[in-house]
């Protein structure tokens, strides 16, 4: 039986050290801002997250691109030529064409390399929700599970990866078509903050609007209290609001039995749409 690696894309928002520890292969999405293309590597080699969010606050706007079929093909070909199979777990098909690119590349590479095996999973997840699913999949791989067993685990577990978050500025969601211009204007005037999640089909869905930041963060916490089934691993991502993320982490650690808690930036590809001040919580629950 051939050994295998786990491949993914940079919308998992895992920091470089964890990518290394988990032995993941991460292919970068890209974004174009102020006349230049940047690649979203886990080590932030192209752009510092603080600099990226400062530009957003100053009014810069970016456009984002999925990982291309060609990039997947090149990475997959190198891996199978080294004698390894691939489990590829990707950014939600409800938010990007990255998963479709991976599927096309996997088919082409397997046809060119008979005997190789590439299994592709649509995580239906984003940011550290995708990162959490990858973390859990790696733990299964380390138990000696086969590539098919870990694939099946990921397919089942993804429906229990809860994504709950709030944003500070509705205008970024307006640009992405998530809220109307009128709703963004009225919401901004009334200090309304949306509470959103990623649903069973991997789409970003507004769930509620509350007045004020404190109430929106509390709403996110309330959802964890209602849904959580396993609080041992909790991930938090943020759009350059680390003190709020750390305060949220402290509260969760006091209230739940947490063994592993990770805080990291929302990467620039997702952050371009959610904006500065995004605060997101990811955990395992009875349903999304």
**Model pLDDT, residue 67:** 96
CB 242 within 8 A of CB 263: yes
How far is C-alpha 272 from the chain's CA centre?
A: 13
**Model pLDDT, residue 194:** 83
**Model pLDDT, residue 224:** 97
Torsion angle defined by CA atoms of residues 184, 226, 133 and 61, in that order, rounded to the nearest 10 degrees:
10
Angle at CA 104, nearest 5°, toward 98 and 107? 140
197: tokens are 């999640």
- Match domain 4-158 to its CATH number in 2.60.120.10, 3.40.50.10170, 2.60.40.10, 2.30.40.10: 3.40.50.10170
CATH 3.30.1180.10 fits 160-285, yes or no: yes
**Model pLDDT, residue 169:** 73
**Model pLDDT, residue 208:** 86
Enumerate the H helices of the chain as residue ranges: 16-21, 49-57, 69-81, 98-112, 127-142, 147-157, 170-175, 181-189, 213-227, 242-255, 268-274
- Mean pLDDT of residues grouped by 10 in the chain (288 residues)? 95 98 98 96 97 94 94 98 98 96 98 97 98 98 98 98 88 59 53 86 88 92 97 98 96 96 96 93 97
CB 187 within 8 A of CB 212: no
**Model pLDDT, residue 220:** 95
- Nearest CA to 237 out of 14, 47, 44 is that of 14
**Model pLDDT, residue 172:** 60
Q: What are the residues facing 285 on neighbouring strands?
A: 228
Q: What region, left, alpha or beta, does residue 245 occupy, with left being phi > 0 and alpha being psi -120 to 50 degrees?
A: alpha
Write down the pTM of the prediction. 0.95
Tell me the per-residue pLDDT of 188-217, one tens digit each, with 9 for 90 and over: 555 778 888 999 999 988 888 888 899 999
**Model pLDDT, residue 131:** 98
Q: Alpha-carbon distance 84 to 138, whole Å?
A: 16
- Nearest CA to 135 out of 251, 232, 266 is that of 232
Domain range annotation of the chain: 4-158, 160-285
**Model pLDDT, residue 76:** 98
């Amino acid at each position: 039986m051939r050994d295998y690696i786990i491949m993914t894309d940079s919308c998992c928002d895992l920091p470089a050290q964890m990518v290394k520890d988990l032995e993941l292969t991460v292919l970068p999405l890209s974004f174009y801002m102020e006349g230049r293309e940047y690649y979203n590597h886990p080590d932030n080699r192209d752009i510092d997250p603080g600099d990226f969010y400062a530009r957003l606050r100053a009014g810069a706007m970016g456009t984002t691109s999925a990982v291309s079929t060609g990039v997947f093909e090149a990475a997959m070909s190198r891996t199978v030529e080294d004698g390894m199979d691939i489990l590829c777990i990707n950014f939600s098909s409800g938010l990007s064409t990255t998963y479709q690119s991976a599927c096309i590349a996997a088919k082409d590479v397997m046809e060119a390399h008979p005997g190789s095996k590439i299994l592709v999973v649509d995580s239906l997840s984003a940011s550290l929700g995708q990162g959490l699913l990858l973390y859990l999949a790696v733990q299964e791989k380390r138990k000696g599970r086969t590539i098919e067993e870990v694939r099946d685990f990921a397919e089942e577990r993804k429906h229990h990866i809860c994504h709950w978050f709030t944003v500070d500025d509705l205008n970024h969601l307006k640009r992405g078509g998530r809220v109307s211009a009128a709703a963004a204007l009225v919401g901004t005037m009334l200090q309304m903050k949306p509470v959103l999640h990623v649903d069973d089909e991997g789409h970003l869905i507004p769930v509620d609007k509350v007045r004020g930041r404190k109430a929106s963060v509390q709403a996110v916490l309330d959802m964890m209290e209602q849904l959580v089934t396993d609080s041992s691993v909790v991930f938090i991502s943020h759009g350059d609001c680390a003190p709020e993320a750390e305060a949220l982490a402290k509260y969760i650690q006091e209230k739940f039995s947490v063994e592993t808690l990770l805080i990291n930036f929302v990467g620039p590809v997702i952050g371009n749409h959610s904006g500065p001040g995004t605060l997101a919580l990811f955990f395992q629950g009875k349903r999304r």
